[in-house]
């Protein structure tokens, strides 16, 4: 659920875990077979942490999305604006994008849905599962056993089933989820979706694509950068 939308200023105190440094020393991810969830929890956490970041590491600004897979307004943003933001700012090298989980306490299935995305991230498929979570929300919200659905969809996007199911049923990515939640709370964030552009400009709730672009472009202009 969101509060009244609109851009505002925020000093970002959230711990941005997408630096790949949150859970110990970096690992050599190329050594891990693609689309297989590793058995070691520390490796799962590091890989999932990195996987939810996209864009050029040298991009001049960062966009952070704080989100909840059961939040209808988060889904609205995904369906209406996310692909345009990705095309204009992330794929062009202007922005690096980081997704932070912040499940609402009134959304009972939000936590396992985040696990589904993070376990997929450990196999290098975070964004594919992220998209499925939003696009098939009505299916997993009403499922008797959503984990079985998540495993089925993981196989659909090329993930080996056994390691993925173990990751889900044993809550392997839980420390990453708890760290996200605590960081958002410490930053005073109380609703989703919530966006932080350039570590300083806050956008609360769903706004039009035009307003979202204007907010991002204002940060670029303030830094003397070109807008798309």
State what percent of residues in the chain have pLDDT above 70: 85
For 112, list phi and psi in degrees, rounded to 5.
Answer: -65, -30
Output 28 or 126, whichever has higher pLDDT.
126
Superfamily of structural domain 6-222: Glutaredoxin (3.40.30.10)
Q: pLDDT confidence of 34, banded at 50, 70, 90? A: low
- pLDDT, residue 84, reads 97
Contact 111, 177 (CB under 8 A): yes
Confidence check: pLDDT of 42 > 60: yes
Instruction: Give the mean pLDDT of 140-155.
Output: 94
User: What confidence tens digit (pLDDT) does each residue in 175-190 have?
Assistant: 999 999 999 999 999 9
Contact 73, 193 (CB under 8 A): yes
Instruction: Give the mean pLDDT of 38-62.
Output: 96
Domain boundaries along the sequence of the chain = 6-222
Rounded to two decimals, what is the model's pTM?
Answer: 0.87
Q: pLDDT confidence of 27, banded at 50, 70, 90? A: very low
Contact 140, 149 (CB under 8 A): yes
User: What confidence tens digit (pLDDT) does each residue in 94-145 have?
Assistant: 999 999 999 998 998 999 999 999 999 999 999 999 999 999 999 999 999 9
Helix then strand then coil, in percent of the chain rounded to 5, is 50, 10, 40
Q: Work out the mean pLDDT of the chain and round it to a whole number.
A: 87
Q: pLDDT confidence of 81, banded at 50, 70, 90? A: very high
């Amino acid at each position: 659920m969101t509060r009244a939308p609109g851009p505002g200023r925020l000093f970002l105190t959230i711990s941005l875990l997408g630096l790949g440094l949150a859970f110990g020393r970096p690992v050599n991810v190329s050594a891990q077979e693609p689309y297989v969830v590793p058995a070691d929890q520390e490796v799962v956490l590091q890989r999932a942490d990195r996987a939810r970041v996209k864009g050029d590491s040298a991009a001049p600004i960062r966009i952070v999305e704080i989100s909840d897979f059961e939040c209808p307004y988060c889904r609205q943003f995904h369906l209406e604006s996310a692909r345009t933001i990705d095309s204009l700012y992330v794929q062009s090298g202007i922005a690096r994008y980081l997704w932070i989980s912040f499940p609402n306490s009134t959304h009972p299935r939000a936590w396992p849905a985040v696990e589904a995305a993070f376990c997929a991230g450990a196999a290098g498929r975070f964004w594919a599962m992220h998209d499925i979570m939003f696009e098939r929300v009505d299916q997993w919200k009403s499922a008797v056993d959503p984990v079985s659905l998540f495993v089925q969809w993981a196989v659909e996007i090329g993930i080996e089933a056994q390691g993925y199911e173990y990751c889900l049923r044993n809550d392997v990515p839980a420390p990453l989820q708890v760290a996200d939640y605590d960081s958002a709370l410490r930053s005073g964030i109380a609703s989703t979706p919530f966006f932080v552009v350039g570590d300083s400009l806050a956008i609360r709730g769903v706004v039009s694509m035009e307003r979202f672009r204007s907010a991002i472009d204002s940060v670029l202009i303030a830094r003397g950068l070109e807008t798309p």
